[in-house]
Chain A
Amino acid sequence: MSALEIRDISKNYGAIETLKGIDIALESGEFLVLLGSSGCGKSTLLNIIAGLAEATSGEVLIGGRSVLGVHPKNRDIAMVFQSYALYPNLTVHRNIGFGLEMRKVPVAERDKAVRDAAKLLQIEPLLDRKPGQLSGGQRQRVAIGRALVRKPQVFLFDEPLSNLDAKLRLEMRTELKRLHQMLQTTVVYVTHDQIEAMTLATRIAVMRDGRIEQLGTPEEIYNYPATLYVAGFVGAPSMNMLQAVVEDGRLAIAGSDVSLPLPAGFRNAAPNGAPVIVGIRPEALRLATGTATEFPLPVEIDVVELTGPELVTTARIGNQRLTACLPPRARVAKGEPCAFTFDEDALRLFDPATGKAFETAR
């Protein structure tokens, strides 16, 4: 039995289709991240799971039970909001215990649950304070504590780290990972931050225009993007997309004299003469050393940016651009010709007409 099952959920606002037939099944203990840009429908889907919005059609099952028409408080869920959504006039202690208080849990039991959660989140000294006296990070811990004490079947997080500064966001991300590893709870987490998605998720659903573009493990999403959109959305810098044509078992890069050998896995997928888009991650590129076994990709360096741990190098190959993440001490300079190389299995091929990846034997 799935901890959470979303069956063919659609949501319309008048003539606008916000969600178009979403299907996801989540096992107990999974951490699902709904990833997508603003307006893709991820928060709407989360609100439908929570019962804060109604689906136009479809069904949500929590713990095998349909929650159609069930009030949010009876869905066995807890939710953490982007704005923390703490009650401003209640102390941290009462904020955390509010859900239990509303459920008439005895005071002693409630107090123990609140103190346990506070200990876990290292906010014990703050229990008597009001939200207005806390920093952003502390407020978010309180919001997480409020969800934790309820011990629900499913936790819902709506961009919980978006309001924090970069350093705090990193800390809280690690904290959330630690909590999930420790408690093994089922989580649905909405974010537009792909790093959050990659680091936290056991599975990611990349959403676009109300549909799931790809559902898979972070490794699958990163290494085997199913569409051009996923390939471009996940990863920073984005995956390089080179226009090319399949010619006699090779990939002729458009606007240049360069051609690459067509990896064996794609030989049956892309027919001869077909235009394709060659995808290659900037991290997969390295400087060619000139050994006979590697395939060199001659380029001209355009821009070199040192970010600290790496040298983000933008180069030109014919009239197309290519970005590589090289080691910080790599010897490259603007205007100089050089050659990149890569492992054959790092290449992905996409159909420019449909935007979908050509399947390959993994």
Chain B
Amino acid sequence: MSGTWMTTRAWLLMLPLLMVMVAVIGWPLVDTVGLSFTDAKLVGTAGNFVGIDNYTKMLSSSNFSRTLVTTTWFAVASVAIEMVIGVLAALLLNQEFRGRTFLRALMILPWALPTVVNATLWRLIYNPEYGALNGALTQLHLIDAYRSWLGEPGTALAALIIADCWKNFPLVALIALAALQAVPRDITAASLVDGAGPFARFRFVILPYLAGPLMVALVLRTIEAFKVFDIIWVMTRGGPANSTRTLSILVYQEAFSFQRAGSGASLALIVTLLVTVLALAYAALVKKTAGSAT
């Protein structure tokens, strides 16, 4: 069979999928790029060409910069906490004890829950009138009166970060747990004989085997955290006083709440660009980590 026919056949086999991808990703993307150079509203006329006005307005607006800071803060804090708790949970679940398998299965539960369910659950916990958190903290005499954790700009973002961490740390823990199983027993034994304590053992024996897989988890979680929408929309809708408004929420508000499709599209493309840069930087980092872990 000739190479040309093989190539043609490969393209033919991929054609249906390519057509679907062009229809659901390619065409909307091109349309969004076109839209971002117009002043089109969500309903009504197609809008007039305004050049890069949407971009310059958006990038110079204080709304955008404030939202970018909020998004970055949310992504950095939640991913960092998830990584630490995930690795600690994995180290714990890698020990031998009775009920380990049950606990491993139980740990996946928050991650398996749909985000909307998770968000609703945490709204109940944070409820200012009958929430479990208020109840617990009052009974422990840590606060005097019930507070509206999601209603105060000072605590809303932190409350969201906790809810997001609870949902997503199991993914990190699962990846770390799989990596821990790959640490050769002999090396752990050698480090025991060599006199390495728990910290030295983690640093010199375990971490080299964890670094690669953890980097993948870091990439996945950072990109997801940067694009976060659902958990925030269900819990705070970006409020109070825009204190939990992330870039995806801003895109939604711009395009659908204020019905400014043109500037909404330009903002969506800016977010896409930021995430792409992040993904490329991480991809390079993963490649470097994988290369050095031999």
Question: Which residues of A does B touch, CB under 8 Å?
Answer: 47, 50-52, 71-73, 77-79, 81-90, 98-99, 102-103, 130, 132, 146
Contact of B190 with A by CB under 8 A: yes
Question: Which residues of B does A touch, CB under 8 Å?
Answer: 184, 186-187, 189-197, 200, 204-205, 207-208, 292-294
CB pairs A–B below 8 angstroms (12 shown): A51-B192, A72-B189, A73-B192, A73-B193, A81-B190, A83-B184, A85-B190, A88-B294, A89-B292, A102-B200, A132-B294, A146-B190
Docked Cα-Cα span, A99 to B205, in Å, equals 13
Docked Cα-Cα span, A86 to B208, in Å, equals 12
- Contacts A51-B193, A87-B204, A132-B294 aside, 17 further interface pairs with beta carbons under 8 A come to A52-B192, A73-B196, A78-B193, A79-B189, A83-B186, A84-B186, A85-B189, A85-B190, A86-B187, A87-B208, A88-B293, A88-B294, A89-B208, A98-B191, A98-B194, A98-B196, A102-B194
Known contacts A90-B204, A132-B294: A85-B187 contact under CB 8 Å: yes
| A103 x B193 contact (CB < 8 A) | no
- Residues of chain B with a CB closer than 8 A to A84's CB: 186
Known contacts A82-B186, A83-B186: A89-B192 contact under CB 8 Å: no
- Candidates A85, A90, A98, A99; contact of B186 at CB < 8 Å: A85
- Residues of chain B with a CB closer than 8 A to A89's CB: 204, 207-208, 292-293
Docked Cα-Cα span, A34 to B276, in Å, equals 59
- Residues of chain B with a CB closer than 8 A to A51's CB: 192-193
Docked Cα-Cα span, A52 to B191, in Å, equals 11
> What's the minimum C-beta distance from A229 to chain B, rounded to whole angstroms?
29
> What's the minimum C-beta distance from A54 to chain B, rounded to whole angstroms?
13
Q: 7 smallest A-B Cβ distances: which pairs?
A: A73-B195, A132-B294, A85-B186, A85-B190, A102-B195, A99-B194, A89-B208
Docked Cα-Cα span, A14 to B293, in Å, equals 38
> What's the minimum C-beta distance from A75 to chain B, rounded to whole angstroms?
8
- Residues of chain A with a CB closer than 8 A to B190's CB: 79, 81, 85-87, 146
> What's the minimum C-beta distance from B290 to chain A, rounded to whole angstroms?
12
Report the tally of A-B residue pairs with Cβ distances under 8 A: 69
- A71, A82, A102, A132 interface centre (most CB from chain B within 10 Å): A102
| A72 x B204 contact (CB < 8 A) | no
| A99 x B195 contact (CB < 8 A) | yes
- Residues of chain A with a CB closer than 8 A to B207's CB: 89
- Residues of chain A with a CB closer than 8 A to B194's CB: 73, 98-99, 102, 146
| A72 x B186 contact (CB < 8 A) | no
| B293 x A72 contact (CB < 8 A) | no
- Residues of chain B with a CB closer than 8 A to A103's CB: 195
Docked Cα-Cα span, A76 to B107, in Å, equals 41
Chain B, Cβ-Cβ closest to A73: B195
Docked Cα-Cα span, A83 to B190, in Å, equals 11
- Residues of chain B with a CB closer than 8 A to A78's CB: 193
> What's the minimum C-beta distance from B47 to chain A, rounded to whole angstroms?
56
- Residues of chain B with a CB closer than 8 A to A82's CB: 186
- A77, A81, A90 interface centre (most CB from chain B within 10 Å): A81
- Residues of chain A with a CB closer than 8 A to B195's CB: 73, 99, 102-103
Known contacts A87-B208, A88-B293, A132-B294: A81-B186 contact under CB 8 Å: yes
- Residues of chain B with a CB closer than 8 A to A86's CB: 187, 190
> What's the minimum C-beta distance from B142 to chain A, rounded to whole angstroms?
40
- A52, A103, A130, A146 interface centre (most CB from chain B within 10 Å): A52
- Candidates A79, A83, A87, A88; contact of B193 at CB < 8 Å: A79
> What's the minimum C-beta distance from B178 to chain A, rounded to whole angstroms?
18
| B189 x A52 contact (CB < 8 A) | yes
Docked Cα-Cα span, A285 to B221, in Å, equals 73
Docked Cα-Cα span, A132 to B290, in Å, equals 13
